[in-house]
Amino acid sequence: MFDSMTIVGVGLISGSFSLGLKDRGLVKNVIGVSRTPSSLKKALDLGLIDEALPLEEAVGKSDLIYVAIPVDVTIPMVQRIMDLVNDRQIVADAGSTKQALCESLAEHPMRRRFVATHPMWGTEYSGPEAAVRNAFAGRACVICGKEDSDPDAVEKIEHIYKLLGMNLVYMDAKNHDMHAAYISHISHITSFALANTVLEKEREEETIFDLAGGGFESTVRLAKSNPSMWLPIFMQNKEHVLDVLNEHIAQLRKFKSCLEKENYTYLQELMENANKIRKILK
């Protein structure tokens, strides 16, 4: 499908995306762009990219430019890329927030060559070595503001994600950020907070981690995520994250109150209500 593609950022998402396209014969040549020479070398050694070039040269040689870097630097980077592309090239991103980015590009003359996407997959690991094959299969991918992009650009991006095994979901950028706060961002904040809670307790009881089982490990797994990636997400999506945090804190207070007042009937009701999530997450 593409003679050449550039990935800006050579980490978990972009590296897995590159492997997916390479494995399916969707791209002949992948160029890597990164501020970190060591990451480019790793990406080359791992076969995630075929060559490393400066941004301007890479964009000039590419049919598709895929941006997967922290969201705070995504905005100036995509703006810079949009100044370089022509009406036959496609630019897409993989960021976890969308409203600020889409608003920043609203008046750009090449806006219609940009497709805002969010593949809803990730792990707590980062860097080129974190990239895996078949990473996106069975996951959802959100495409935001489809009507703001050229139909041919959207169709090609849709085709790629479908071949990677993703289920496509469409919404505007503001709704995306709201829903992402509830299903992704709050999970990371909760995990960070729980890890800090246990680390604080561990000062008093050094054996606490000897007792940690699978439930604890799965709950705090996300606390191993890279803060340099997640801090900008929380900053850009502050309004929605605060809304979900307030609701989450209210729910925690209900559990706390039940225990304080020994209201075990209501405590059971709260847990039974939570069990309804089984109908959604099977």
Q: Which two tokens stand for residue 159?
A: 């085709």
Q: Quick one: pLDDT band at residue 214, thresholds 50, 70, 90?
A: low
Please, what is the average pLDDT of the chain? 94
Q: Which amino acid is at 141?
A: C
Please tell me the distance from the alpha carbon of residue 217 to that of residue 232, in angstroms, as a whole number.
25
* Rg (alpha carbons) of the chain, rounded to whole number: 21
Q: Is the pLDDT of residue 144 over 70?
A: yes
Q: Is the pLDDT of residue 138 over 70?
A: yes
In this structure, the number of other CB atoms found within 10 A of the CB of residue 37 comes to: 9
Q: Which domains are seen in the chain, by residue range?
A: 2-171 (3.40.50.720), 176-279 (1.10.3660.10)
pLDDT of amino acid 209: 63
pLDDT of amino acid 221: 86
The pLDDT tens digits of the residues spanning 14-48 come to 999 999 999 999 999 999 999 999 999 999 999 99
The pLDDT tens digits of the residues spanning 44-89 come to 999 999 999 999 999 999 999 999 999 999 999 999 999 999 999 9
pLDDT of amino acid 197: 87
The pLDDT tens digits of the residues spanning 160-176 come to 999 999 999 999 999 99
Q: Is the pLDDT of residue 91 over 90?
A: yes
Helix axes 238-260, 173-180, angle to 10 degrees: 30
Contacts with 43 (C-beta within 8 Å, 6 or more apart), sequence order: 10, 15, 32, 34, 49, 52, 128
pLDDT of amino acid 208: 65
Please tell me the distance from the alpha carbon of residue 34 to that of residue 39, in angstroms, as a whole number.
7
Residue (of 173, 172, 169, 171) closest to 158 by Cα position = 169
Q: Is the pLDDT of residue 241 over 90?
A: yes
Residues 30 and 5: beta-carbon distance below 8 Å: yes
Q: Which two tokens stand for residue 209?
A: 């981690």
Q: Quick one: pLDDT band at residue 2, thresholds 50, 70, 90?
A: very high
Q: For residue 24, what is the DSSP state?
A: T
Q: Is the pLDDT of residue 126 over 70?
A: yes
- Percent of the chain at pLDDT > 70 equals 95
Q: Is the pLDDT of residue 220 over 80?
A: yes
Residue (of 123, 129, 124, 122) closest to 224 by Cα position = 124
**Conformation bin of residue 152: beta by default, left when phi > 0, alpha when psi is -120 to 50:** alpha
Is the pLDDT higher at 134 or at 209?
A: 134
pLDDT of amino acid 41: 98
pLDDT of amino acid 205: 61
pLDDT of amino acid 203: 64
